[in-house]
Chain A
């Protein structure tokens, strides 16, 4: 806790004429910020007898917590899974460009790669706070290589691995040190997955189920061992069947540890999931839905061929395929496009659509006191949106880090 003296000197910023997302509702309230955090104006009024030093008129816009993308493979030509010499500058470029999509924190994602790539790349992507330089890095998401051959999707078959021999030691040997790792996606039907899941969860790493042919029972056991997320629901897993719902059945399972529910990623780009399927998932379990982009390096670039992991990708309009096939290869829809599409496809409330991109991923990662929320004490990472949920401006720690052209004077 800072000393009262320091705080007293820091300027207080008051965002007025806005609606803020707080307590699950859009309230007609002002947002007060000091030292990069959201503060309680009532406390300022009665205890410090303080008014704001600066007021900013938000033109009647919506202020939502900054979006958090927990699955993004690159963008703007940058591929996080490439063992480049300067991975850091690639991450920084993406971090800066996604500010215009309203994303204030993200998990750079690496697809199935050989151990050399992990050993080279991971140490170059440290956890980092966001700011004018770009969105904050919450940690890396490792999607693979411990996944199902049958459901590998766009992942290269040559680099798939198992941990049957040495369980967690195999994991460490493959990835190297796990300091910068935040999420690991694996297939729970692989031998000794329970030990691995427990070991990862014990280190505070979020374990996600995906690229898997697991049945519901295997999935439930994985959750009981500590798995908390499903990677891009419906994609790269067995389809829902009424006698064995598979991983999808986790949304309504009654065998989860008490007081816990499953979170699940959804790519709401209009391509990866039929709107009817999106609605089924949303209606079955709205509080667990996490919007992800699963964006590939082609995000933000035009049509043509680009690199993803160890493979080539073909971009055609709003869709990306594994070159020469009809297999989807990630999405190129920015996060704010996903939020709008999700809202329109499900007919859900604006509040829930915004929470799916902010509060829910924060809850998944156990960060909901500081991120994904506009509660007092949280980091002042927020996005200014018009009524159709287009991004007008992005703020990190109370500082303007991006602004739409029309908004600039």
Chain B
């Protein structure tokens, strides 16, 4: 969904490296089916436009899987991004740069300051969206994303207007939510299980 600008593709902190080491090398995907933005392209805007085109040519995104930042960003759509934005070049927020410094030997001068990223609008076009949110440090962003209104300062809140989005969270990520909200969603699982079980026992009875 994104890649740093100006970072060599084989740098251990590039998203190409991340995807290779954590996903691609473990599966048998055809390399031709893997598309990652090139942060070293000669014409960055053309690279972004081409990416949008490739998505369209592939028939659109069926499933978008992502996480969020502590500032509620989705991909690198930092606070203040347009909620109808497309794939483009973004300057990274100071918070993001500071958070990334630990991956660059703590040297701020080594941290990339720009990235190519899919837009909020690009992700909203996906047929299904799954966002994974874990840890107490993401709790406030999760609160802003689902219990407050849609706001471009917390870009992941845009998915309140998506027809088919699921947020998968752990206990710690819910720490800033109302108890009532957490109970509601936990309760849903309980009701779901009650609906499913009788079906199975009916089947086995036959």
Contacts and interface: CB of A to CB of B under 8 A. Distances in A.
Nearest to B28: A51
A45 B17 contact: no
A50 B17 contact: no
Contacts of A40: 10
Nearest to B21: A42
A376 to B, nearest CB: 10
B10 A43 contact: yes
Nearest to B9: A46
A50 B16 contact: no
Interface string A43-62: 11110111100000000000
A42 B30 contact: no
Main secondary structure of the interface of A (DSSP, over half): helix
A309 interface: no
Contact of B32 (A30, A42, A43, A49): A49
Interface string A303-328: 00000000000000000000000000
B25 A46 contact: no
Given A30-B25, A41-B25, A46 B32 contact: no
B31 interface: yes
Nearest to A46: B16
A46 B30 contact: no
Contacts of B20: 42, 45-46
Best-buried of B16, B31, B32, B36 by chain A (most CB within 10 Å): B31
Contacts of B25: 30, 41-42, 45
B31 A42 contact: no
Contacts of A45: 20, 24-25, 31, 34
Interface string B40-75: 000000000000000000000000000000000000
Contacts of A30: 25
Best-buried of B10, B16, B30, B32 by chain A (most CB within 10 Å): B10
Contacts of A49: 31-32
Contacts of B10: 40, 42-43
A42 B36 CA distance: 13
Nearest to A41: B25
Interface string B111-135: 0000000000000000000000000
Given A41-B25, A43-B10, A46-B9, A51 B17 contact: no
A254 B34 CA distance: 53
B24 to A, nearest CB: 6
A51 B16 contact: no
A51 B30 contact: yes
B20 to A, nearest CB: 5
Contact of A51 (B9, B31, B36): B31
A14 B204 CA distance: 46
A288 to B, nearest CB: 29
Contacts of B17: 42
Interface of A: 30, 40-46, 48-51
10 contacts: A40-B10, A42-B10, A42-B16, A44-B31, A46-B16, A46-B20, A46-B34, A46-B36, A51-B28, A51-B31
Given A42-B16, A46-B9, A51-B30, 14 more contacts: A30-B25, A41-B25, A42-B10, A43-B10, A44-B31, A45-B20, A45-B24, A45-B31, A46-B34, A46-B36, A48-B31, A49-B32, A51-B28, A51-B31
